[in-house]
């Protein structure tokens, strides 16, 4: 089996490539990635010279490039995206181009060669929940509220339209917030861990009571593996961690695990249009494919802290490069 992975140099994509190449010795992976600020080839350096892995630098919006790669593959697993909500608020442009037009370009090539297509999406397409609302499931109506989630919702609709209109064998997964190794340190958990390792403050937006449902990235990779092999085409699967917690709980837990003082918490200005709560009901994938999360939040956070402690070069290089200016701007705006 030859898998075309898009966005494989990013957080979830690189975890997925490690997972697939370790679990399936006979599988080949082509990684198509534009290596934006969020892409990092160091994530996959152990496979660099492996005959089962190849890397192609380029954009999913490049029609000719995409056509040739899709022709070669048995299945496309599509992660490539602009993924950070705060960046989408500052500048939505790249979100529209990559997340919508890029997905369209891939779907067109998949249609031409009739290829199996798995589209990675997010729970953010469903909008925000109140404290007593039932978690999102596959029947929840779409209600995206940020440029990021609106662009992901558009791409989900396109993927579904290609199934209904052209019979393209697609599946979609909508997952909750992932965390784990190789997570770019602009998102809450890796930002907090790396700041704390540097004895810097952790910015908490607004009152810190926004709730996210945390999913350990390896559990997510296992879910995608099952959907790829056993999922029913045309179907959507909601993938959640069963670990809802307010942001301030996460930050305080990280402080405790790292033995740091709570004076390193800094409440800053809230995010515009900040979604209050996300939560996923994953009973469909549990019932139909036998998946459920295996790593609980405490264990996952401990593993993640260990990874960031043992891979300081990886994140220090990022934080002292392009990211430095971005962080300074965000942080100052928040004060
Ligand atoms: P990421 O930002 O870490 O990585 C995205 C990757 O896509 C990077 O390697 C980047 O270089 C690449 N990329 C960006 N634009 C590209 C383009 N035009 N052509 C080719 N490559 C391009 O993202 P992530 O956190 O790994 O997320 C992966 C997918 O999962 C995304 O589709 C995201 O919407 C979805 N998702 C993520 C989360 C999460 O918690 N991280 C939750 C739900 C869904
Ligand atoms: P984030 O990791 O950006 O993921 P998403 O916006 O996709 O859920 O943010 C997770 C939550 O943490 C979200 O409610 C925003 C909040 N947050 C902070 O409080 N401080 C931060 O510095 C960041 C990056 C996020």
Catalytic site includes residue 148: yes
Catalytic residue among 33, 82, 123, 225: 123
Ligand 2 contact, 205 CB (< 6 A): yes
Q: Which overall architecture, per CATH, does domain 185-212+243-275+296-329 show?
A: Alpha-Beta Complex (3.90)
Mean pLDDT value across residues 264-283: 97
Tokens of 106: 């891939």
Tokens of 290: 């036998």
- Mean pLDDT, the chain, rounded, equals 96
Compute CA 243 distance to the chain's CA centroid, rounded to the nearest angstrom: 17
Centroid of ligand 1 to alpha carbon of 6 (angstroms): 9
Parallel/antiparallel/unpaired status of strands 211-216 and 244-246: antiparallel
Nearest to 73 by CA among 5, 24, 158, 15: 5
Catalytic residue among 124, 218, 225, 281: 124
Tokens of 81: 């995206």
Catalytic site includes residue 124: yes
d(C-alpha 266, C-alpha 262), whole Å: 9
Residue range 2-178+215-239 forms a domain whose CATH class is alpha beta
Q: Is 130 left (phi over 0), alpha (psi -120 to 50) or beta?
A: beta
d(C-alpha 160, C-alpha 328), whole Å: 40
What would the pLDDT profile of 176-200 be if each residue is shown by its tens digit? 999 999 999 999 999 999 999 999 9
The residue ranges of every structural domain in the chain are 2-178+215-239, 185-212+243-275+296-329
Share of the chain above pLDDT 70, in %: 96
Mean pLDDT value across residues 145-164: 98
Residues 82, 86, 90, 96: is their CA dihedral positive or negative? positive
Which atom of ligand 2 sits closest to the CA of residue 148? 7
User: What's the half-sphere exposure (Cβ side, CA atoms, 13 Å) at 138?
Assistant: 15
Q: What share of the chain is helix, strand, coil (3-state, %, to 5)?
A: 50, 20, 35
The pLDDT of residue 321 is 75
């Amino acid at each position: 089996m030859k898998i075309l992975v898009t966005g494989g140099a990013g957080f979830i994509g690189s975890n997925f490539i490690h997972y697939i190449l370790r679990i399936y010795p006979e599988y080949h992976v082509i990684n198509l990635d534009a290596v934006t600020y969020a892409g990092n080839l160091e994530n996959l350096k152990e496979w660099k010279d492996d005959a089962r892995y190849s890397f192609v630098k380029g954009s999913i919006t490049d029609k000719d490039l995409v056509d040739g790669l899709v022709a070669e593959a048995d299945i496309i697993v599509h992660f490539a995206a602009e993924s950070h909500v705060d960046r989408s608020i500052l500048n939505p442009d790249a979100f529209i181009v990559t997340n919508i037009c890029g997905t369209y370009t891939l779907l067109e090539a998949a249609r031409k060669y009739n290829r199996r297509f798995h589209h990675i999406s997010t729970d953010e397409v469903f909008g925000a929940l109140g404290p007593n609302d039932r978690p999102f499931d596959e029947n929840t109506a779409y209600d995206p509220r940020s440029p990021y989630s609106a662009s992901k919702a558009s791409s989900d609709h396109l993927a579904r339209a290609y199934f209904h209109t052209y019979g393209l064998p697609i599946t979609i997964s909508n997952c909750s917030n992932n965390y784990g190794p190789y997570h770019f340190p602009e998102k809450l958990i890796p930002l907090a861990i790396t700041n704390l390792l540097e004895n810097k403050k952790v910015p908490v937006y607004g009152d810190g009571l926004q709730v996210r449902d945390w999913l350990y990235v390896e559990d997510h990779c296992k879910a995608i593996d099952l959907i790829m092999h056993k999922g029913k085409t045309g179907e959507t699967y909601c993938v959640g961690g069963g670990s809802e917690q307010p942001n301030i709980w996460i930050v305080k837990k990280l402080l405790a695990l790292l033995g740091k003082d709570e004076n390193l918490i800094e409440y800053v200005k809230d995010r515009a249009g900040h979604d209050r709560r996300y939560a996923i009901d994953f009973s469909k994938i549990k019932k139909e494919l036998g998946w459920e999360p295996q790593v609980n939040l405490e264990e996952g956070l401990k593993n993640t802290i260990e990874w960031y402690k043992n891979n300081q070069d990886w994140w220090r290089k990022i934080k002292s490069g392009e990211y430095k200016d971005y962080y300074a701007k965000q942080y100052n705006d928040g004060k």
